[in-house]
Amino acid sequence: MFDSLIQWLYHPANQRLLLGMLGAFGLGLLSVKLIPRLKKKEKPKKIQTQEGDEAFLKGIHYILSDEPDSAIEEFTKFVQVNSDTIETYVALGNLYRSKGDIERAIRIRQSIILRHDVDEEIKLRALFDLGLDYKKGGFLNRALETFLQVAEKKPSDLKVLTEVERIYEELRDWENAFKTRQKISKLSGGDHRHILAHHLVEMGKAKQETGDFSKAKSYYSKAISTDERCVDAYLHLGDLFFEKEDYKKAISTWKKIAHVAPHFTYLAYRRLEGAYSKMKNLKPIEDFLRESLSLNSDAFTHLALARYLYNQGDLEEALNEVEKALELAPHLWEARRFQGHLLLSNGRSGEALEAYKDLLDHLDLPFLKFQCSNCGFEPPDLHWQCPNCKQWDTIGLVETSPSQSPTRSDRVLWKLEPPSQETA
């Protein structure tokens, strides 16, 4: 229970909730001290106050014990005695939202907003919470409208602007997401170019889907000028040139990835092969792969070169490249499978048997997977924006032991870091 309590307290929202509720309890205690001096004869009121305080403390206990139903019951008792304690209403609304009872949470927020004796700041907070309720319930348009109302009153509130941006992203309204991120960057400082670039790429994709290649190209180019390491922009700009059958420009665009983000070069291999096939000349593929290895000698590129050489009929050189890949990454099962395939398909079963014996010795080696460095989510494929926490450029390739459950402390092999200030 103590460990779960610590984990619960680590969450910022829970910290704010607990502090707010303790503040409300403090005000309750203060009223207990002052009011009896003015109204000593109101003994029943004092008894009710004590009962309310007990209910409040029990509610806190149930929250820390992860018993939301019991907490709701106790806080409901408390507000029946202390109906003016807004913080407890806020806590009740948050508990209902956490349980998925969105309708009740919304009613509580609306009751706070409609009260005439409530401070404007508290009403804005209730309005913000109402937006969170709508968002949790999947009512994104209502949530957006609510957050925008708060933003009108508090245009410099980063928390509100962040919620607005995320809903625009969910709705795929990339133009407004871009404008909102610009506001966030001005208010918070720091480097936001990688996020702005991704928004521009998404705008380009939308234009390309409708056949507006000119506008799409403009967005992709602007994304690259915003963040020269935006790999997604190079990939889709190259795709656009390929779709227009301008294979030379497509190849030139994809090749730039090897210089700006070498670890993502493998994303261009299949594209380059397709473009060179259209030009009926695959020889430059080998030159590009060897050039990429000179810039960044990684297992994926050695494996790609091995596949190319095998398709060209050069079995020995292909096996040599697979060996180099396995020297760099013994955990790369794809390379071990390809090695066995090369040997078996050419009648070298004895060598294949030795290779698979070696494979048994490496069963405890780590394997590769994608994982978000921010929230630990493990998508099956590479995403530029984490599907879970919605952060950009946090998905990386990590290695983890098959005998252990994956954790966020697994060794990160690569991840695209946001560009530094110095490269502006």
* DSSP, residue by residue, 71-126: HHHHHHHHHHH-TT-HHHHHHHHHHHHHHT-HHHHHHHHHHHHH-TTS-HHHHHHH
Q: What is the pLDDT of residues 33-76, one digit of tens each?
A: 433 443 444 444 444 444 444 544 454 444 445 655 665 555 45
What's the rounded mean pLDDT across residues 195-205? Answer: 97
pLDDT in tens, 295-337: 888 888 888 888 888 888 888 898 889 889 888 887 777 777 7
Q: How many CB atoms lie within 10 A of CB 148?
A: 14
- More confident of the two residues 414 and 361: 361
pLDDT tier, 88 (very low <50, low <70, confident <90, very high otherwise): low
pLDDT score for 50 = 47
Nearest to 13 by CA among 88, 69, 95: 95
Is residue 39 situated within a structural domain? Answer: no
Averaged pLDDT, 92-121: 80
pLDDT confidence band for 407 (50 / 70 / 90): very low
Residue 380 inside a domain? The answer is yes
Highest mean pLDDT among 144-158, 294-308, 396-410: 144-158
Question: Quick check: 109 pLDDT over 90?
Answer: no
Are 328 and 366 within 8 A, CB to CB? no
Task: Answer whether residue 23 shows pLDDT above 80.
Answer: no
| For residues 273-295, average pLDDT | 87
The whole-number pLDDT of residue 348 equals 65
Residue 413 lies in a domain: yes
Would you state the pLDDT for residue 370?
Answer: 84
Higher pLDDT, 416 or 107: 107
Give a yes or no: residue 128 inside a domain: no
Top-confidence range, 9-13, 17-21, 166-170, 361-365: 166-170
Phi-psi region of 315 (alpha: psi -120 to 50; beta: other; left: phi over 0): alpha
Of 222-236, 277-291, 315-329, give the range with the top mean pLDDT.
222-236
User: The dihedral of CA 397, 400, 402, 405: what is its sign?
Assistant: negative
Instruction: Flag whether 403 is in a domain.
Output: yes
Question: Token pair for residue 221?
Answer: 């180019």
pLDDT greater at residue 231 or residue 412: 231
pLDDT class for 12, splitting at 50, 70, 90? low
In a domain, 384, yes or no: yes
Check if the beta carbon of residue 406 is closer than 8 Å to that of residue 393: no
| Span 26-32, average pLDDT | 45
Is 380 exposed, middle or buried (CB count within 10 Å of its CB: 0-12, 13-18, 19+)? exposed
Inter-helix orientation angle 174-188/158-170, to 10°: 160
Instruction: Give the residue, 92 or 301, on which the prediction is more confident.
Output: 301
pLDDT at 181 exceeding the cut of 50: yes
What does the angle CA 257 – CA 279 – CA 310 come to, to the nearest 5 degrees?
75
- Please indicate whether residue 357 or residue 268 has the higher confidence score (pLDDT): 268
The pLDDT, as a whole number, for residue 349 is: 62
When divided into structural domains, the chain yields a total of 1
pLDDT at 285: 87
**Residue 417 belongs to what domain range?**
366-424
Contact criterion met (CB below 8 Å) for 370 and 397: yes
- Does residue 382 lie within any of the structural domains? yes
Using N-to-C axis directions, what is the helix angle for 231-243 and 266-278, rounded to 10°? 10
pLDDT of residue 131: 94
Whether residue 375 lies inside any domain: the answer is yes
